[in-house]
Chain A
Amino acid sequence: MIQAKKHGPVLALAILFAVVLAQPAFGQVPPRFYWKGMNGTNAVLLISMSLSGNANPADHANTVLPGSIIEADIVIAGYAHLFELFDRSAMIAVLLPMGRISGDVTLGGLAFNEQVHGFGDPMVEFDINLIGPDPIRNIPDFMRHEPGFSLDVMVDLAFPIGEYDNDTPLNIGQNRWYGRVGFPIVWQLGPWVPDRRMTLEFLPSVWLFGDNDDFMGQELSTDPLFQVEGHLTRNFAKDLWGSLDVSWMNGGQATLDGDEGEDSDMRGLGFTLGYQLNDHAQLTFGYMATMGDDEPGDLNMDRFLISLTFGWHKLIEGMDRIGGES
């Protein structure tokens, strides 16, 4: 007579929300990134990206290198933990990029053909909810959770310890501190039924960069870069969802030994498909490309992305071991 068992899979999904962590290059956080999960949830993720364009995709400043043709295969490995702080949902995550970057780069009249590989700059992210539902402390909370209108504040900080070679303009590490402050917004549209979920999501943020005092022997400084990311997401079926993704960036003027470049003004358009493999794992595929990028100084880039996220929670693990009764 007790019918909790058939809701077991639903409950187990508690561990997966909000842990689709990613921090891919050219500044696009995946849709549904800031959905909330149950306190105590852990997650690991792998994001594999293939990028092509005229900027170093490992550089979040997206500084355009006119005339360059750069290819990159980058994987980001990450770990996230969800917890409660000051009665609000919070998350701490670490992300480590790695991979290969190659291409023909023209800089200061010099042509470089480079191939670099190794680990990039690890990044730490902290996020805490400011406006929105109470933290998800247990499974009943999770079952009743709906984002409604949710506003967070998040801080990213990258540590300049990745692979860096001052002889080349193409590096996976950036040899400078950088990070950002942003305000993730999730706005629920309609009922919160798994096969009909729909959200409008925004992430206005500003990237801040320290100086690279040895960019091929010169000092590279970059102004703040303002960015707004947007996603309209919708479930097509219980386990399948899609998103229309847009991104706009402005600012980030680079100065090389006093020689000022131009502000970036980038618009990107893309999509993401997500599929829930099981109660623990989710797979996403996405593509994004810059728009209005005909001028040599415009950022011209595209990106394929595949991500795999695996989440777990000790309570759900225990339920799994004894057969799913909740």
Chain B
Amino acid sequence: MALVAGGLHDTTLAQEADRRPNIVIILADDMGFADMGSFGSEIPTPNLDALAQNGVRFTQFYTHATCSPTRSMLLSGVDNHLNGLGNMSEMTAPNQKGVPGYEGTLNHQIAMLPELLNSAGYQTYMVGKWHMGKQPDKIPRARGFDRDFALLDGGGSYWDMTNLTARNPNSLFTEDGLYLNELPKDYYATRTYTDKMITFIDEGRASGKPFFAYVSHQAPHDPYHLPRKWRDKHVGEYDMGWDITRQKRLARQVELGIMPEGTPLAERLWFMPMALDLAPAARAVMGRKMELYAGMVENLDFHVGRLVQHLKEIGEYENTLFLVFGDNGPEGSDLLQMLTGTPGTLNYLFAAINWSQTDFKAWGDPGSFVGYGPGWAQVSTTPFAQYKGMTAEGGLRNALIVSGPGIALEKGSIHHRSVMHVADIMPTLLEVAGAVYPETLEGRRLPPLFGKSWVPMLAGEVDVVRSDEDYLAWEIFANRALRQGHWKIRWQWKPFGTEEWELFDLAGDPAELHDRASSHPEKLASMLELWEEYVEANNVIIPSRAIFEAVDDSLPQRFPYAPGYPPIMTQRQYEPPADLFKESNK
């Protein structure tokens, strides 16, 4: 492709259908910032790393803090409070019900990326998790995809159709716009999604059109379902626990250049013990969870490699633009416990029947439900704080790889300067495809895209996507944040936050350790003005109920972070001088 240095956003050039690049989005579910080898992980991800080496890594890329809001902005380019995912459908608050923008599904006030790419002459394919509507007018086929094999729910078994609650016992799937009663023989989510995508690409080649492939993997979202041969690749490797694993990841990040020398590590969550204080058996149990998670990521990488290899074999790799990222921070909450953990309830009974393979040796099997918990979630998001659902950096910031034609930046380089957002992808890809975002669609006036195209930056024409005056903002479950330049304000439910606005300087404090609100009141005030502007412009309704509103009552009290306190936990046996022992004891 001759898209470098000014060609990429040349619509005349782009409209030459045979020369426009294919586009592949690899979306991982709940994968953290630090989970790929090229971002500091010890988990082997050679195929994802190869894409990174052939492209560029970005370290200031933001998604939303949960899944469907991110996906909605990815495919609409419009803020989630306008596109229908103002809240997740599972968590819509009483004061949000019936309000446009809070449908819980992608509404029809927007234009979809696949719709517009389709109109621009692309074949559009989707496999994997959808989570933005199950009704006939909301499924992938209805929203612009030519071919699909989609899990419409937000999660569930990787082996079959089992879902998580008594009233929603079966996951719903579609294939090419039709609902499924059964899954293909030998179904395993990550493998089957990859097989289907390869089939779609092969069967669409005769059209001569470029393709847009949205590979929306369920992995590595819990439950950690994994073929047996992938479960035992890291036995014992995580017995050291989350503290040391985090330190090692940060060291690798510094070595790779992902994070600068001297980067502080976020505090260990106050309700998690220091892992080395745990008995060996407890560490083995906890470590097994991370072993399985590592296997999930490794297996995901393997199947990404299969897709990449196939594109090479059919001669399409060189003309394919890849985007790789996770949809939000890693999952630190216990989803199954939240849904089914109350004895005597229907959901508890449902779990007893369908999700009770709790034995250590059964983890990974159908019927098992393993998530790795908050300790490991903070490893996945090293060096940041907290995890999915939170507006701390651990919930919002993710690793991004962009690889393929049209990139003038040095191959294998790491880009730190530009603050980027998942909603930027829509204008970026429209520009790559030579498509235009219309003002109206089928008579409807479309909301403006709030993202900014990366094409000029990728082409080396500009250094950053947005200026220090631009801002990004988020709200989910009443947790809120706004970033402008290197400053960030954050409001979170106690005890993860203070239920007051906090101010952080991410330039030196990416782990959000030091609240600067009292020392920089004018900065806080100016950013709060931006927040009000954001709320007004984007239909933000702070929910009257939220899942984190009572967390403060269920967790230990939070005290100021003081590493090493109390010393009794680390003090070792005193060894007196040998020559001072009683003679008979020497």
Contact = CB atoms under 8 A, between A and B. Distances in A.
Interface of A: 1-4, 6-7, 10-11, 138-140, 143-144, 146, 191-195, 238, 325-326
A139 to B, nearest CB: 4
A4 B360 contact: no
Interface string B346-387: 000000000001111110010000000111000000000000
Contacts of B281: 4, 7, 11, 138-140, 143, 326
Contact of A4 (B272, B285, B359): B285
A192 B362 CA distance: 8
Interface string B268-301: 0001110000111111111010000000000000
30 contacts: A1-B373, A2-B273, A2-B278, A3-B285, A3-B373, A4-B278, A4-B282, A4-B286, A6-B358, A7-B281, A7-B360, A139-B280, A140-B236, A140-B239, A140-B280, A140-B281, A140-B284, A143-B284, A191-B361, A191-B362, A191-B365, A192-B361, A193-B357, A193-B361, A193-B362, A194-B361, A195-B359, A238-B359, A326-B279, A326-B281
Interface in B569-583: none
A144 B361 CA distance: 8
A17 to B, nearest CB: 13
A143 B278 contact: no
A10 B272 contact: no
A281 to B, nearest CB: 20
A166 B10 CA distance: 110
A191 B361 CA distance: 8
A8 B281 CA distance: 9
B359 A140 contact: no
B288 to A, nearest CB: 8
A321 to B, nearest CB: 15
Interface of B: 228, 235-236, 239, 271-273, 278-286, 288, 357-362, 365, 373-375
Interface of B is mostly: helix
A1 B272 contact: yes
Which residue, A7, A146, A325, has most C-beta atoms of chain B within 10 A? A7
Which residue, B228, B272, B285, B362, has most C-beta atoms of chain A within 10 A? B285
A138 B374 CA distance: 27
Given A4-B278, A10-B359, A143-B284, A191 B228 contact: yes
Nearest to A11: B281
What are the 9 A-B residue pairs with the smallest beta carbon separation, nearest first?
A: A140-B284, A4-B282, A139-B281, A326-B281, A193-B362, A193-B361, A192-B361, A140-B280, A4-B285
Contacts of A139: 280-281, 284
Contacts of A192: 361
A4 B271 CA distance: 15
Contact of B365 (A7, A11, A140, A193): A193
A300 B275 CA distance: 62
A80 B272 CA distance: 41
Contacts of A195: 359
A292 to B, nearest CB: 40
Nearest to B358: A6
A143 B288 CA distance: 10
Contact of A2 (B235, B282, B358): B282
Contacts of B358: 6
